[in-house]
Structure 1
Amino acid sequence: MTEATPAVRPARPHFSSGPCAKRPGWSPENLNTSPLGRSHRSKIGKSRLGDAIDRTRALLGVPDDYRIGIVPASDTGAVEMAMWSMLGERPVDMLAWESFGAGWVSDVTKQLKLDARSLTAGYGEIADLAAVDPTHDVVFTWNGTTSGVRVPNADWISADREGIVICDATSAIFAQPLDWAKLDVVTYSWQKVLGGEGGHGVLILSPRAVERLESYTPSWPLPKIFRLTKGGKLIEGIFEGATINTPSMLCVEDYIDALKWASSLGGLEALHGRADSNAAALATYVEKTPWLDFLCEDPELRSNTSVCLKIADPDIAALDEADQRAFVKAMEKLLESQDAAYDIGGYRDAPPGLRIWCGATVDTTDIEALGPWLDWAYASAKTAL
């Protein structure tokens, strides 16, 4: 092992891509207003859930005629609710360029067995957005959490589309601008960009999505946890704080705390700026580091949150995949042993490499301090080969 360690550690070495770093200055004491031990259907419980929805709308600039609901099972639950409740009315284009998008493709083609086109690309690349048919429904991830590839904008989505657009935005929301007019369903979990606690999803529906729900009934049975309508009408209570199942009021309070923090910074623009600053600081380091490179080569498509990196050293790249993964794991262990970085290994289905979260709850000074530690871990792991 290389003995000389860098002089400065990241103050908060939390660079996991989910759950992500808590906001700067976070403390459990900030959650003392949570109505623990009270029913989520009590006046105070509904009030806190309603407050979370109202603050979400204000911070994100969600149009007044879009519904916002808190749903179970994180972003996954929100996406599954939308797909199982709305798809099947017409053909669907499934876009995927990383593992979570591929999971939605699998669910639609193998479980729902729908008339679906799969438009896919490998890790580090993006699907052919121009091939999307505006007469079809569309399902896609705005930001590929496990590949570090995002859509550059929503220009490829037709304003005159006939189908609905379902967007998994869990690692993009609060960090990248979304074009609400082009999106009919937006899903996310607050455990990512705002560093909330896991287990809850957010489901945002446009009027077009509500129209689909009220005019179309799938041919398959829907479990209670997926049902968004009753008697052919939207269950409005879900979007007013009456959740489908019991939420954690502590997690809801933690989300409200993060929303308050974001507003205190200056709102959405400030969050975007923090993520961009973090990604730029990491890019500056990568560009001067010969042994490391971006998985996504196109800067226009590169994520500013889940930044995925590959080992560019020819000696390491020449190893078989298992040995490359072992090398990355050795780096991870070294960094964690020094409390310099936690949980930065690439996703298990992605090519061997690193993944650094650069969302708004991370401080740029910590990204800057991380670089020398990555050099140290790389040199130490290579010496041990």
Structure 2
Amino acid sequence: MDELKQFGKALMQYKSYKERQEHLIKSLDHLSYYFPEVYSQILREIKKREIESNDPNKITKWLNISTSKTYYVQLHEALMLVNNNNTMAKEQYTTSIKHMLCQTIEKNTNIEFVIKICDLIEKSSHLQTIYENLKHLIHQVKQLNGNKFNTRMDSQTENMTGHFDSLNIEGYQTFQQQPIPVWPTMIQPNNLKQHGLPHFNLECFGYENFEMKATANQYPNFSVTQTLPNLTIVNQEMDGAVMKWLHYLKLHKYQWFFNSLSYLEIEFIDEDNIEGFITKVNKNSITKGAQKKICVSTKALRDRQSKLNNLLMVLDLEVTPVELCELITYMRDILHYPIPNKNCVVGDQIQKDIVLIMDKILDHLMEKLSATRYLVSNSLLGSSINKYMECTFLIAGNQIFMKDQVEKILLFRQIIEYKVNHMPRNFM
């Protein structure tokens, strides 16, 4: 631990980001060259933590335990690693942090840990949505910290001020005896309510017909049946992608249901709330069998980002031909699912991950092709290549991918085609 602290302090001595980055690169190069096993272990652990910080299922397991110091350390790290477009994970973090802040304000405990998390939320651009939702609570916690600091300062200066208590300042008593003028028409609250801020009478300003109304900035409780009621995939220009997905699933007869929901709502559909969504749409009914299929498909949509992250880790290791075929089969299936556009999420992380996965799969295919003397179409490797080619066509035909991303995929296709065309094969 001491060595890591010294390393961290050494990095922080560099004032500019460029100098710090150069020193870090040299240190990592040294570590990877002289201690490759340690370097690989650190890299895998960081990737693992990033995946866990973005997996809603794994987040739930530790977010509810908010009593130990480990919780605050883990939460701080998770907030650093959460992806900007991972809406579900951010919702979970927001709820947990809100509870943590309220508990800190109520009990005045763990202020130092909470302040560190608040500072991270304020400074991190990818956590701005969390900050906007909780900034009123964050400011209250920071006020508590300021009051705590002032209390310590007051206790330190108490002895000093005590020496001046007996001093008789000329004119002080006379000043105390003078009446203090009070504004006779001071604004007084009326119509106090339990929730929200009060109304104020402005008659003292001469405006008899005006009344200032202030309402509290309250955040409604999240409800899957009431989220973004005016926002649908039609407004988000996602109805075309969803329609293709539903045709692939053979659920296109329920297009009316999905067209009435937003992309985020579609992601949230599960067996517990699908009836609520159907009630919200309030048009037709959906059979139980179709409901089950919809829930299975939306779960795959929810789990896509974490699954892609897992694939990136797995493909860094050695994979068997069977595992490789299964991975490519999953990619071929998930590429039929709608990818959110700029109206739904910020950035194109999913597209970047898909292109990177296709690149890593290509490396594995080329390695296995090099070890193969004769390629047969109905073999495991031949099947993997056919499915990989299907993936390239799906990506190239999807307008959500950027031009440079499509060009990379087309290059991958040319590489695999060239390799296959220059080796003995039987693709009849």
TM-score range, shorter chain: under 0.3
Give the TM-score, by structure 2 length: 0.20
Greater helix proportion? 2
Give the TM-score, by structure 1 length: 0.21
Higher relative contact order (CA 8 A, sep 6+): 1
